[in-house]
């Protein structure tokens, strides 16, 4: 199958790329390398340095290719930055995605897998969260994801664009041999930050809040290994082409770990002391955020195989030792 990955040089995109190439798909990448993306892009893929905000360049590119499917990872991903600079997020996430969708329908490309986020749910929900639960995103980041989701539903109705939206919870970990993992700039994700403290690249870990309504006072989140996230994409491709149905799925582990637990387990896996400082909790951060993953289990026959905390932390540590 001829597949385009937007954001294919990023963390989840480059890990997905590896698997797609191993499955003998013909893959091309669009990425503007804006998030300190992985430079070890698999050489068997074709890389195109294109900004999705440049509609004419994007449209010319798509006009000459006959892609069967687009997997859309590209975007800006920092929730706090989106509150400080919403313009960047409405442009780089919403307008850029709209460019992509418009160019796709103009060029008769009718299948898309979209990277959405648990941020669409906001902070007023019951755990574990179901796909159909109420959505009230609180950050511009979460709002842009929900706007794209809604646009996709309209484009399906009017232009027959079939999509799978995957709402990722916390994607983490690396390839089992540590050859490819997570790297953002600036890094805001908890597991790579803990690894950086363990390796000495970062002097201390900032723990935002220890006064939440949880068993140890620190926030509880749902962590899912990137290999399981990749597998959800492979199963989504199958489903989309067999059923020709649009749908939305959570990708999560259906269980949560507290920040304190992550610190303790990181110390065990790395054999290093994690120095941390407790800061004020961040506004809008829910105490607990856990996915209900029964829909993706039932319909796509997906289940997490690598998302136990040990595998996540061990693979992240192998990767940290490679890049430090």
Ligand X SMILES: NC(=O)c1ccc[n+]([C@@H]2O[C@H](COP(=O)([O-])OP(=O)(O)OC[C@H]3O[C@@H](n4cnc5c(N)ncnc54)[C@H](O)[C@@H]3O)[C@@H](O)[C@H]2O)c1
Q: Residue 66 has which token pair? A: 């006959």
Select from 82, 97, 115, 175 the one that contacts ligand X (CB under 6 A).
Answer: 115
Radius of gyration over every alpha carbon of the chain, rounded to an integer in angstroms: 19
| Contacts (CB under 6 A) with ligand X, residues 84-113 | 92, 96
Span from 47-55, 104-112, 277-285, 307-315 in contact with ligand X (CB under 6 A): 47-55
Please report how close the Cβ of residue 273 comes to ligand X at its closest, in angstroms: 26
The dihedral through the CA atoms of 159, 161, 162, 168 has a sign that is negative
Tell me the CA distances in angstroms from 37 to 10, 42, 50, 184, 208, one per residue in order: 5, 13, 14, 7, 26
Contact between 33 and ligand X (CB under 6 A)? yes
Please report how close the Cβ of residue 313 comes to ligand X at its closest, in angstroms: 15
Contact between 184 and ligand X (CB under 6 A)? yes
7/304 with CB nearer ligand X: 7
For ligand X, the nearest residue by Cβ is 10
d(CA 2, CA 128): 36
Please report how close the Cβ of residue 271 comes to ligand X at its closest, in angstroms: 26
* Residue 313 dihedral angles phi and psi, to the nearest 5°: -70, -40
Select from 67, 163, 168, 302 the one that contacts ligand X (CB under 6 A).
Answer: 168
d(CA 156, CA 144): 18
d(CA 95, CA 26): 27
What does the binding site for ligand X look like in residue numbers (CB under 6 A)? 7, 9-13, 30-35, 37, 51-53, 73-77, 92, 96, 115, 117, 168, 170-171, 184
């Amino acid at each position: 199958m001829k597949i385009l990955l937007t954001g294919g040089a990023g963390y989840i995109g480059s890990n997905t790329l590896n698997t797609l190439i191993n499955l003998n798909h013909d893959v091309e990448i669009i990425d503007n390398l804006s998030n300190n993306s992985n430079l070890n892009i698999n050489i068997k893929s074709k890389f195109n340095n294109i900004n999705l905000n440049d509609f004419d360049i994007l449209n010319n590119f798509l006009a000459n290719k006959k892609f069967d499917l687009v997997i859309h990872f590209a975007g800006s991903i920092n929730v706090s930055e989106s509150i400080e600079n919403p313009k960047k997020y409405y442009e780089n996430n919403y307008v850029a995605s709209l460019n992509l969708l418009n160019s796709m329908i103009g060029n008769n490309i009718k299948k898309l897998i979209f990277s959405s986020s648990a941020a669409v749910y906001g902070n007023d929900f019951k755990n574990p969260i179901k796909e159909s639960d109420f959505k009230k995103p609180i950050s511009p980041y979460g709002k842009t994801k929900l706007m794209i989701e809604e646009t996709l539903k309209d484009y399906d109705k009017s232009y027959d664009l079939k999509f799978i939206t995957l709402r990722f919870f916390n994607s983490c970990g690396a390839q089992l041999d540590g050859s490819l993992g997570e790297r953002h700039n600036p890094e805001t994700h908890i597991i790579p930050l803990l690894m950086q403290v363990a390796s000495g690249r970062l002097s201390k870990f900032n723990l935002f809040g220890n006064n939440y309504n949880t068993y140890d006072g620190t926030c509880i989140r749902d962590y899912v290994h990137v290999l399981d996230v990749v597998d959800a994409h492979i199963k989504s491709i199958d489903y989309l082409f067999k059923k020709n149905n649009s749908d939305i799925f959570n990708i999560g582990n259906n269980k949560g770990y507290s920040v304190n637990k992550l610190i303790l387990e990181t110390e065990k896996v790395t054999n290093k002391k994690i120095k941390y400082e407790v800061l004020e909790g961040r506004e809008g951060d829910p105490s607990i955020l856990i996915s209900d993953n029964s829909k993706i289990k039932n319909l796509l026959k997906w289940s997490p195989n690598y998302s136990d905390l040990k595998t996540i932390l061990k693979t992240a540590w192998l990767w940290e030792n490679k890049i430090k």
